[in-house]
Structure 1
Amino acid sequence: MAHTLRVSHSEASSTADKCENVLEALLYVGAGTLLVVEVFLLAAGVLARYVFGKPLVWSDELSSILFIWLAVFGACIAFRRKEHMRMTSFSAPAGERTRSFLDVMAIVLPMVFLSLALQSAYDYAAAQSFMTMPALEISGAWRAAALPVGLLLMWVFGLLELIRHQHFVSVCWAVGLSVAAAYGLYLCSPLFAELGKWNLAIFFVGFVSAGVFSGIPIAFCFGLATVAYLQLTTPVPLMVLMGRLDEGMSHQILLAIPLFIFLGFLMEATGMARRIVEFFASVVGHRKDGLSYVLVGAMYTVSGISGSKSADIAAIAPALVPEMRRRGESDGEVAALLSATGAQTETIPPSLALIAISSAAGVSTSALFTGGMLPGAVMGILLCWYVWWRKRGSEATGGRRSSFREAMRKLAMALPALILPFLIKSAVVEGVATATEVSTIGIAYAIVYSVMFGGGVTWSTLGRIFVRTTSLAGAILFIVGTATSMAWALAQSGFSQDLASAFLHLPGGAITFWIVSIAVFVVIGSVLEGIPAIALLAPLLLPIAKGLSINEVHYSMVIILSMGIGYFAPPFGIGYYTTCAISGVEPNAAMRPMLGFIAVLALGVAIIAAVPWLSTGFLH
């Protein structure tokens, strides 16, 4: 009997693998095609508007349709590849049996959310079929159908994963507990009706926290908490939630996210980052602390190209970390400095955090891009000072001093790469192109750079870049969508007004508000990561900041940097563990040196909060 069960499970797993591979291949082709078409469509729009003076009136609508499909396909790919953002600090050290159970729950609970939302997504798409897009003159269902299709595909991927899972008992327990919990909550709905605003703490603090710390993907924690709150405590139909999910995922400014991620991976593949590092190393690399300065400067420059912290670190680490080790730097020091520079450069345009706060809170992208440069520089100067102070008695050795001629040669090689960040910033700040449009200029520039300077981008490399781009972008956009839905539910409950009243009546006024805001974003940033924290909290807190006469750009810079500290701070910060993995360092080795860097970063945030001019001095 047991042998028969094993054979049946093996056959089912084989069938699941085949189905999964077919669906995965179709998604890769579809998402890659959509990404390429979006790049060409936006580039055509820029040319038509600024070169020929005849804007393509239909391009925005077509771009919107393609974008929502790209976002949901990317979310499906991220689900299949298990790349949706999740916190594993607590689940990873657990025993094998517990970890296996939690991994199964990380599939089952998202499937519960998908099951609850699927019918509403279909109803939403059906309702949109009565709307006609004015420029293209086609039904809105062409666009809205992306949601039910995407949710269904993720549910199918989850089912196939459960079918081929090796621990059948864990699957049964996870499914059984999820069903029992859902039924128990349904039975308790009369009780929830009597609790009033305590439900906000139960669902949006208790449920979300339990899910996040258990390793459930953060986007689905947001989604489940919002669905449970709406279904059990309000008469609001879930179709309204689908509208908020659509709005959160497909805001036009967010199209810059997949395009800048794509640009970042192109930059890595073409060798732009390597040439920038080589130039900086030729200038100060001979000093015993020189490569640390190179790391700070290179991260500052590269962040201006990619916008993605993961892409920045992955581009810089291979070029610097081995040489820093050869010169006697400890693994912990290297990983700690790399993490600190990741937090330092959060405000360097075109940071995805800047784009997210522009979308979530309506702050001018141009103002954010202008205001982000100087705070990042201040943080970099403080890090360089701290490196100098620490390295005074270090036994690390310096390198060979480059000749002036050699430095100029490396400058000539790096100059085309160094131009790109200034091209991006200038185009947005001067109003030549939007943040979304300028990403296509950067992509075209990177392609030309690869052709002229031999970046070595092959078709297979390009295919991998497409997959990495769509997966990362899909994970980000889906979490923004669910965070937007959750923020909307909080706003509808009256929480926004209560929060504003509480903050406005804090003793100490603006100073206390600053302290609380910094603390909140450090903590939330370590648990929820940057973009979901911004999507959730920025629309709630920025109006309060305005009420206290705090400039919105100044406030944005401080909360983004605070969030970056949390994201890269052990023991919870996911960015810290990502950095350790990229640099090949055990996380425990970097925790002690990281404490000093966190203190310096906190000092930098305090200085920037106290001196508004650092964020607003160059605004028009």
Structure 2
Amino acid sequence: MDGLWLIIAVFMIVAILRLPIFLSIILSTVSYALVYPDMPDIALVQTMLSGLDRSAFAAIPYYFLLGSVMSAGGMATRLLRLARALFSWIKGGLAHVNIGTSMLFGGISGSATADASAIGALMIPAMKKDGFTPAYASAVTASSAAIGLLIPPSIPMVLFGLFNNVSVGDLFLAGIVPGVLMAVYLSTAAWWVARKGQHPQAKWSGWREVWQALKSCILVLVLPVLITFSLSTGVATPTEVGAIAVAYAVVISVFVYQDISLGTLMKTICASAAESAQILSIIAVSGGVLWIFANMGAADALINQVAGLQLSPTQLLLVISMMLILAGTVVGPGLLLILVIPPFTALAVSNGIDVLHFGVVAVFSSAVSLVTPPVGILLFLTASQSGASVMAILKEMVPFYIALLLLLMSLIYFPVLSLGIGQLL
């Protein structure tokens, strides 16, 4: 297993130097190939070429572009007005508006970073103006932005489905209730904090304002309905749904709302192409690491150790989720879904765990890495938006960490939360 430690050491060194993740992976693989001759040179090239040799991966750029178009246009502003009308009267005020907007936005964009960028730019200044501390505003934004990893269309769900041969459409449906529950749990935590901190709340704006806000964003809300209907009825594949959703968002933003110019649209396309290229590059170069793991039997050894514990299905799911959360403090959800989770999927299924149930728990566990240091990309993103330090944000994150842990326990012990909609349909 010396080769495994070599890969980990090179990966960590390159990561500390803050080079792109795909470079960390490929340099780790090349280092192994140079030290251990059991890996033919051609294997490295072949695994990179075959890594993306699946047409279903075309869905990923579409969902990145969908999130970018929504961030660049006024869709987030319209969703914010609706969330403010619905939730600002609850004790905690704008914290609930922030969470509600993230739930609505995440149900369309599928990207946590797009959610945090768009919603944070609007909500953090508004929360600061309303008397919330910058650190608390960042904590609410970061934790709620992770909702986008569960509610369809979810890019991590696409990755889990493709790497584990599971229907992406079924995974999308399985993530709806957990995503909504995540908003409920986080909102409950915000309410509890508001009781102690005397956070401001607005007066009920009335049903007239709710109706006006709903009318202003009705065309935006058509998107999640379109996505869910297309996937549940099977009239379109996830890739086709992504293409349709992007075309719809572009038409609405450019020609109906007219809040994106053609020049801005081109910049948005280029930016989303760069974002999707990052994850696609990671997928391509990860093929070499997967080949090495299979050749040295590392994955089998880990699975055998966990299987040797002779746990019940619920206990096994709990142990795997804790391992994923721990691993997520070092690597992001992309690497977890590509390298770590697939071997555990086979173990979970062989122990009687429904693959959709496992997929939701695994994706949620990987989502926690977005708000846990030292990776915690959402922590650093919202910190740059608010001007608060990451340490200050972490202190404010404690009640939201508790909420996320309670939700994880709920998802593990009550499979119906993940499987209910699919069984009903």
TM-score for both structures, normalised by structure 1: 0.65
1:574 matched to 2:377? The reply is yes
Structure 1: unaligned runs, 5 residues or longer? 1-196
Looking at structure 2, the residues matched to 519 and 210 of structure 1 have their Cα atoms a distance apart, in angstroms, of 25
In structure 2, the residue corresponding to 1:328 is in which secondary structure?
Answer: coil
1:198 matched to 2:2? The reply is yes
In structure 1, the residue corresponding to 2:149 is in which secondary structure?
Answer: coil
1:493 matched to 2:296? The reply is yes
Looking at structure 2, the residues matched to 345 and 454 of structure 1 have their Cα atoms a distance apart, in angstroms, of 24
Q: Structure 1 residues 579, 485: CA separation in 2 closer, same or farther (over 3 Å shift)?
A: farther
CA contact (8 A) 1:360 1:538 kept: no
Looking at structure 1, the residues matched to 272 and 245 of structure 2 have their Cα atoms a distance apart, in angstroms, of 15
2:267 equivalent in structure 1: 464
Match of 1:260 among 45, 57, 63: 63
1:365 equivalent in structure 2: 168
Q: What is the identity, as a one-letter code, of the residue corresponding to 2:100?
A: G
1:314 matched to 2:117? The reply is yes
Match of 1:394 among 191, 197, 201: 197
CA contact (8 A) 1:487 1:537 kept: no
In structure 2, the residue corresponding to 1:515 is in which secondary structure?
Answer: helix
Deviation at 1:205, TM superposition (A): 2.3
1:521 equivalent in structure 2: 324
1:222 matched to 2:25? The reply is yes
Deviation at 1:602, TM superposition (A): 1.1
User: Which sits farther off after the overlay, 566-575 or 218-227?
Assistant: 566-575
Q: What is the identity, as a one-letter code, of the residue corresponding to 2:232?
A: V
Match of 1:331 among 134, 156, 159: 134
Aligned length: 423
Looking at structure 2, the residues matched to 406 and 275 of structure 1 have their Cα atoms a distance apart, in angstroms, of 12
Write out per-residue CA displacement over residues 284-343 of structure 1, whole angstroms, 9 at most, x where no aligned residue: 324442322222121112112111111111121222222211221111111111111123
CA contact (8 A) 1:424 1:442 kept: yes
Looking at structure 2, the residues matched to 296 and 484 of structure 1 have their Cα atoms a distance apart, in angstroms, of 37
1:251 equivalent in structure 2: 54
Equivalence map 1:270-285=2 (5 Å): 270-285=73-88
Equivalence map 1:62-461=2 (5 Å): 197-200=1-4, 202-399=5-202, 401-461=204-264
CA contact (8 A) 2:231 2:238 kept: yes
2:405 equivalent in structure 1: 602
Aligned-residue identity in percent: 27
Deviation at 1:535, TM superposition (A): 0.4
Looking at structure 2, the residues matched to 420 and 265 of structure 1 have their Cα atoms a distance apart, in angstroms, of 15
2:396 equivalent in structure 1: 593
Looking at structure 2, the residues matched to 286 and 455 of structure 1 have their Cα atoms a distance apart, in angstroms, of 31
In structure 1, the residue corresponding to 2:236 is in which secondary structure?
Answer: coil
Write out per-residue CA displacement over residues 555-581 of structure 1, whole angstroms, 9 at most, x where no aligned residue: 111121111112212344222212222
Looking at structure 1, the residues matched to 266 and 300 of structure 2 have their Cα atoms a distance apart, in angstroms, of 48
CA contact (8 A) 1:268 1:311 kept: yes
1:534 matched to 2:326? The reply is no
User: Which sits farther off after the overlay, 347-356 or 287-296?
Assistant: 287-296
Write out per-residue CA displacement over residues 509-564 of structure 1, whole angstroms, 9 at most, x where no aligned residue: 43443233122211222322111211001221110111111111111111211111
Write out per-residue CA displacement over residues 495-516 of structure 1, whole angstroms, 9 at most, x where no aligned residue: 2322222121115343443233
Looking at structure 2, the residues matched to 286 and 334 of structure 1 have their Cα atoms a distance apart, in angstroms, of 17
CA contact (8 A) 1:313 1:582 kept: no
Larger radius of gyration: 1
Deviation at 1:451, TM superposition (A): 4.3
CA contact (8 A) 1:344 1:601 kept: no
CA contact (8 A) 2:314 2:413 kept: no
CA contact (8 A) 1:361 1:542 kept: yes
Looking at structure 2, the residues matched to 403 and 342 of structure 1 have their Cα atoms a distance apart, in angstroms, of 27
CA contact (8 A) 1:526 1:563 kept: no
CA contact (8 A) 1:335 1:590 kept: yes
2:418 equivalent in structure 1: 615
Deviation at 1:448, TM superposition (A): 2.2
Looking at structure 1, the residues matched to 50 and 96 of structure 2 have their Cα atoms a distance apart, in angstroms, of 42
Looking at structure 1, the residues matched to 218 and 387 of structure 2 have their Cα atoms a distance apart, in angstroms, of 30
2:346 equivalent in structure 1: 543
Write out per-residue CA displacement over residues 441-474 of structure 1, whole angstroms, 9 at most, x where no aligned residue: 1112112212453232113212221221111111
1:565 equivalent in structure 2: 368
Higher relative contact order (CA 8 A, sep 6+): 2
Looking at structure 2, the residues matched to 224 and 393 of structure 1 have their Cα atoms a distance apart, in angstroms, of 50
